[in-house]
């Protein structure tokens, strides 16, 4: 075990032999843990009265009885990890101890440092149990590959550079900030980054911050000690601790209260957390991936998101465009989603008809990839035949949107248009196109420039000469 692995953890040592008891306590405290050492069941009962320990090292045979009765009677809280030690080891005793909930079973004589190895294994088991508990309360995880496509090639290049930097840094990896509308794939990108990075074999803990009740959010993220609040009957590990050594994905981070945002900032800066109601600082090495809306800078200016936290997160920034700005990727993405959906439903792979393609290309997709996947699954379940028509989407816009095979730069022009006899203002037409792009991107000049295939400088020039747009760069 590395130095500091037990910092912030409490250990109750119930051991008959005084020398071994002192040696184990010294080793626990050397690694930063808080050790309480006693030599009998009576003393152990008094030490545990009103308190909850992270771990209990329990000698089986004590002067005043057999400690296995504690396990049989459930006297120890479920949050305490128990390691049983005995001088009379046999297979039956080990099996019973593990059946009753013990995390490990040691036979005397042993080196006191061996207990530290057992504590390390027990800590890892508790960490995994906490992660599993959190996952059971959330949505099932999608482990399929992420579709980048042509439009997300710049994002993919950034991710590859982040991975290269991660390999060089290894420890205390810098945070990553992912911005994008709801449903653009922020969670999928976070999973991709974790599973392709140096911590792929370590925990990935995903938290939807908007789903955390204000009263419980601090306890959920940072843990609590017994008695920290009315219903805190036992100490509980927080998700920062559960993700130690791995990745903590904080989705919808701006929904946390300002006070909790401050605690997240402190954890980022100090790599330490403190449980609610606790006094000890616990070291954590967690890669934070935070996700928020595309207008996060606006939330800062409006006082709805801490500026210092924003600047701390805004090192590796990834911006995911909505799929209405990814027309070239829309059909290939649909095919990949359809393959996953058909596999999920154990059905042969379905295709998308030409009318279905036109309907997909003509839809606005305010829900982005999530909405697209939902509508494709609806079609798989309810439509007959092997080619999906997507009839439940808005009407067939064949006259407005062509299939990818005949897509061209001229299709935006109404074929019935003729120039008016009194003349035509090209300058006004350009301004209208710019305004349309700004409306579509909600005033984001950089995104509008990408849609129009021009530089931001060109748009700034046009906007400065056309005060009627009323738009400024963001």
The confidence score (pLDDT) of residue 412 equals 61
What angle separates helix 354-362 from helix 327-344, to the nearest 10 degrees?
120
Give the number of other Cβ atoms within 10 Å of residue 47's Cβ.
Answer: 17
Q: In the predicted model, is pLDDT for residue 417 greater than 80?
A: no
What tokens were used for 160? 């590859």
The confidence score (pLDDT) of residue 338 equals 93
Q: Give per-residue pLDDT as tens, 316-353.
A: 999 999 998 898 899 999 999 999 999 899 999 999 99
The confidence score (pLDDT) of residue 84 equals 87
Task: Grade residue 44 by pLDDT with cuts at 50, 70 and 90.
Answer: confident
The confidence score (pLDDT) of residue 337 equals 93
Beta carbons of 200 and 386 less than 8 angstroms apart: no
Higher pLDDT, 286 or 117: 286
Distance CA 23, CA 36 (A): 12
Q: Give per-residue pLDDT as tens, 160-219.
A: 999 999 988 878 899 999 999 999 999 999 999 999 999 988 889 999 999 988 888 999
Q: In the predicted model, is pLDDT for residue 405 greater than 90?
A: no
Higher pLDDT, 17 or 234: 17
Task: Grade residue 467 by pLDDT with cuts at 50, 70 and 90.
Answer: very low
The confidence score (pLDDT) of residue 108 equals 84
DSSP 424: -
Task: Grade residue 468 by pLDDT with cuts at 50, 70 and 90.
Answer: very low
Q: Does domain 153-320 have CATH number 3.30.413.10?
A: no
For residues 150-158, give the mean pLDDT: 92
Task: Grade residue 227 by pLDDT with cuts at 50, 70 and 90.
Answer: confident
Distance CA 182, CA 252 (A): 9
CATH code assigned to 426-469 = 1.10.10
The confidence score (pLDDT) of residue 79 equals 65
Q: In the predicted model, is pLDDT for residue 143 greater than 50?
A: no
Beta carbons of 133 and 239 less than 8 angstroms apart: no
The confidence score (pLDDT) of residue 161 equals 95
Find how far residue 415's CA is from the centre of its chain: 49
CATH code assigned to 10-136 = 3.40.50.2300
Q: In the predicted model, is pLDDT for residue 443 greater than 70?
A: yes
Please check whether the two domains, 10-136 and 323-406, share a CATH topology. Answer: no
Q: Give per-residue pLDDT as tens, 233-283.
A: 777 888 999 898 899 999 999 999 999 999 999 999 999 999 988 888 888
| E strand or H helix that includes residue 206 | strand 204-208
What tokens were used for 473? 């760069």
**How many Cα atoms within 13 Å fall on the side-chain side of residue 336?**
11
DSSP 252-320: TGGGS-HHHHHHHHHHHHHSEEE-BT--SEEE---EEEEEE-TTHHHHHHTTSS-HHHHHHHTTEEEEE
Distance CA 474, CA 472 (A): 6
Closest CA to 18 of 33, 34, 36, 37: 37
Q: In the predicted model, is pLDDT for residue 431 greater than 90?
A: no
Q: In the predicted model, is pLDDT for residue 48 greater than 80?
A: no
Where do the structural domains in the chain lie, given as residue ranges?
Answer: 10-136, 153-320, 323-406, 426-469
Least confident range of 145-154, 157-166, 283-292, 400-409: 400-409
DSSP 211-259: GS-HHHHHHHHH-B-TTSSTT--S-B--HHHHTTTSEEEEETGGGS-HH
The confidence score (pLDDT) of residue 73 equals 77
The confidence score (pLDDT) of residue 140 equals 40
The confidence score (pLDDT) of residue 397 equals 42
Give the number of other Cβ atoms within 10 Å of residue 89's Cβ.
Answer: 15
Beta carbons of 275 and 8 less than 8 angstroms apart: yes
Q: In the predicted model, is pLDDT for residue 2 greater than 60?
A: no
Four-residue CA torsion sign, 247, 140, 274, 56: negative
**How many Cα atoms within 13 Å fall on the side-chain side of residue 388?**
28
Q: Give per-residue pLDDT as tens, 363-376.
A: 889 999 999 999 99
Distance CA 407, CA 430 (A): 22
CATH code assigned to 323-406 = 1.10.8.60
pTM of the model: 0.64
The confidence score (pLDDT) of residue 316 equals 96
Closest CA to 250 of 282, 205, 284: 205
């Amino acid at each position: 075990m590395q130095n500091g692995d037990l910092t912030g953890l409490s250990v109750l040592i119930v051991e008959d032999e005084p020398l071994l008891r002192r040696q184990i306590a010294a080793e626990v405290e050397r690694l930063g843990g808080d050790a309480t050492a006693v030599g009998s069941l009576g003393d152990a009962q008094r030490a545990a009265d009103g308190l909850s320990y992270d771990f209990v090292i329990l000698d089986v045979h004590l002067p005043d009885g057999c400690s296995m009765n504690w396990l049989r009677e459930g006297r120890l809280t479920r949050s305490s990890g128990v390691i049983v030690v005995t001088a009379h080891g046999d297979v039956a005793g080990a099996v019973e101890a593990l059946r009753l909930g013990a995390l490990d079973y040691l036979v005397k004589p042993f080196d006191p440092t061996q207990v530290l190895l057992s504590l390390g294994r027990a800590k890892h088991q508790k960490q995994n149990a906490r992660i599993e508990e959190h996952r059971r309360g959330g949505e099932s995880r999608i482990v399929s590959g992420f579709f980048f496509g042509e439009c997300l090639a710049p994002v993919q290049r950034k991710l590859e550079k982040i991975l290269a930097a991660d390999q060089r840094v290894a420890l205390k990896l810098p945070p990553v900030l992912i911005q994008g509308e709801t449903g653009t794939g922020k969670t999928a990108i976070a999973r991709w980054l974790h599973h392709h990075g140096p911590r792929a074999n370590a925990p990935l803990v995903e938290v939807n911050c908007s789903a955390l009740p204000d009263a419980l959010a601090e306890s959920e993220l940072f843990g609590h000690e017994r008695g920290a609040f009315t219903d805190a009957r036992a100490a509980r590990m927080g998700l920062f601790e559960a993700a130690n050594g791995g990745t903590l994905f904080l989705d919808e981070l701006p929904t946390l209260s300002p006070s909790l945002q401050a605690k997240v900032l402190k954890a980022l800066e100090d790599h330490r957390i403190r449980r609610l109601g606790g006094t000890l600082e616990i070291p954590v090495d967690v890669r934070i991936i935070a996700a928020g809306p595309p207008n996060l800078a606006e939330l800062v200016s409006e006082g709805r998101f801490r500026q210092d936290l924003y600047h701390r997160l805004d090192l590796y920034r990834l911006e995911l465009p909505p799929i209405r700005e990814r027309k070239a990727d829309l059909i290939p993405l649909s095919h990949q989603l359809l393959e996953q959906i058909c596999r999920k439903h154990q059905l042969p792979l379905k295709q998308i008809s030409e009318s279905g393609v036109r309907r997909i290309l003509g839809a606005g997709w305010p829900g982005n990839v999530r909405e697209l996947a939902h509508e494709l699954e609806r079609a798989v379940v309810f439509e007959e035949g092997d080619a999906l028509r997507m009839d439940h989407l808005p009407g067939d816009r064949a006259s407005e949107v062509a299939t990818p095979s005949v897509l061209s730069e001229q299709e935006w022009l109404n074929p019935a248009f003729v120039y008016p006899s009194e003349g035509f203002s090209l300058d006004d037409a350009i301004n209208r196109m710019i305004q349309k792009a700004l409306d579509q991107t909600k005033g984001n000049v950089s995104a509008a420039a990408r849609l129009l295939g021009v530089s931001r400088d060109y748009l700034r020039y046009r906007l400065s000469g056309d005060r009627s747009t009323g738009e400024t760069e963001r």
